[in-house]
C-alpha cells in the first residue's frame, strides 16, 4: 500500500511553486507587477528544489512527475504570459494576445516534449530548447526591470512582444542549453567554488532585477551562440582527402 501513497516532502515544494505561479497571476491582475515578477522567480527556485529533494531522499514517483509538470505549466507558462500581457501587451490588441499565446503554447509544447523524451535523452548536460523556468525568468526579469525604472508597459509594448515571442519560440527550438545536471551536490568542491557562490549572492543582492534579467538574457542567447559556434566549426572543418570515407 505504501507505493500507492504520495510523498509529502517533494510535493510540498511543488505545491509552493504552484502557489507562487498562482500568486503571480493574481498580482498581475491587480497591477502589482513587481510582486508578480518576484513570485515567478520564487516558483523557479522551488521548482529546482523539488526534483533534487526527491532524488536525494529517494522519494521520486510518477505522481510527483505529473504534478510537477502541471505546476510548471501554471508557473512558467500561464503566469508569465498573463503577467507580460497585463503589463505591456494589451495596447497591441490582437497582436498582443497572440504574442502572449505564442509564449504560453511554447511552454506547453516544451513541457510535453521534455516529458516524452525524458528517457531517450543521451546527453544530460544539455536541454533541447530553452527550459520553461528560464523563459519565465526572462519575462519576469524584464517586467521587474521596467517597473524598477518606472517605465510604463505601453511605452515598450513592441519590445515586450518581441521578448515574449523570443521566449516562446526558443522553448520549442532544437538549440542546446546547458542543464547543469552533472553538478553533484554531494561531492566536495574546491574553495574557490564556494567563494564564487558567495560573490554571486552578493552580486544579485546589490541589484536583483538587473542582475537576474541580465543572467537569463545571456542564458537565453547561449543556445543560439552554441549553434552559431557549431556551424562555424563545421564550415572550417577540412574536407576529406580522396579515398577517405
Q: What is the pLDDT of residues 16-68, one digit of tens each?
A: 999 999 999 999 999 999 999 999 999 999 998 887 787 777 778 888 888 99
pTM summary value:
0.86
Best-predicted range by mean pLDDT (134-143, 179-188, 235-244): 134-143
Residue 244 CB neighbour total at 10 angstroms: 6
pLDDT at 244: 41
- What gap in Å lies between CA 214 and CA 58, rounded to an integer? 35
Question: What are the start-end ranges of the H helices in the chain?
Answer: 8-29, 33-56, 62-73, 79-84, 94-116, 132-148, 157-171, 191-206, 208-236
Q: What is the pLDDT of residues 138-147, one digit of tens each?
A: 999 999 999 9
Domain residue spans of the chain: 2-236
Mean pLDDT of 236-245: 53
pLDDT at 183: 64
CATH of 2-236 among 1.20.120.420, 1.20.120.1760, 3.40.640.10, 3.50.50.60: 1.20.120.1760
Residue 1 pLDDT greater than 60, yes or no:
no
Q: What is the pLDDT of residues 94-107, one digit of tens each?
A: 999 999 999 999 99
Bigger pLDDT: 238 or 211? 211
- What gap in Å lies between CA 201 and CA 12, rounded to an integer? 25
DSSP, collapsed to helix, strand or coil, labels residue 180 as coil
Residue 245 pLDDT greater than 50, yes or no:
no
Amino acid at each position: 500500500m505504501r507505493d500507492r501513497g504520495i510523498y509529502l516532502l517533494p510535493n510540498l515544494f511543488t505545491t509552493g511553486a504552484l502557489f507562487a505561479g498562482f500568486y503571480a497571476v493574481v498580482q498581475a491582475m491587480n497591477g502589482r507587477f513587481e510582486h508578480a515578477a518576484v513570485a515567478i522567480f520564487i516558483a523557479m527556485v522551488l521548482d529546482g528544489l523539488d526534483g533534487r529533494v526527491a532524488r536525494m531522499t529517494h522519494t521520486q514517483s510518477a505522481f510527483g512527475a505529473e504534478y510537477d509538470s502541471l505546476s510548471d505549466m501554471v508557473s512558467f507558462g500561464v503566469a508569465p504570459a498573463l503577467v507580460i500581457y497585463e503589463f505591456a501587451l494589451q495596447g497591441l490588441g490582437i497582436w498582443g494576445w497572440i504574442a502572449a499565446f505564442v509564449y504560453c503554447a511554447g511552454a506547453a509544447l516544451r513541457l510535453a516534449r521534455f516529458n516524452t523524451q525524458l528517457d531517450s535523452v543521451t546527453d544530460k548536460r544539455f536541454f533541447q530548447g530553452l527550459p520553461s523556468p528560464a523563459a519565465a525568468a526572462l519575462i519576469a526579469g524584464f517586467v521587474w526591470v521596467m517597473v524598477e525604472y518606472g517605465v510604463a508597459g505601453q511605452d515598450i509594448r513592441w519590445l515586450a512582444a518581441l521578448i515574449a515571442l523570443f521566449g516562446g519560440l526558443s522553448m520549442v527550438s532544437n538549440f542546446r542549453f546547458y542543464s547543469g545536471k552533472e553538478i553533484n551536490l554531494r561531492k566536495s568542491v574546491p574553495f574557490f567554488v564556494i567563494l564564487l557562490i558567495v560573490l554571486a549572492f552578493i552580486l544579485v543582492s546589490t541589484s536583483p532585477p538587473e542582475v537576474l534579467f541580465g543572467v537569463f538574457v545571456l542564458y537565453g542567447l547561449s543556445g543560439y551562440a552554441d549553434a552559431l559556434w557549431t556551424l562555424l566549426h563545421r564550415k572550417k572543418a577540412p574536407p576529406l582527402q580522396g579515398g577517405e570515407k
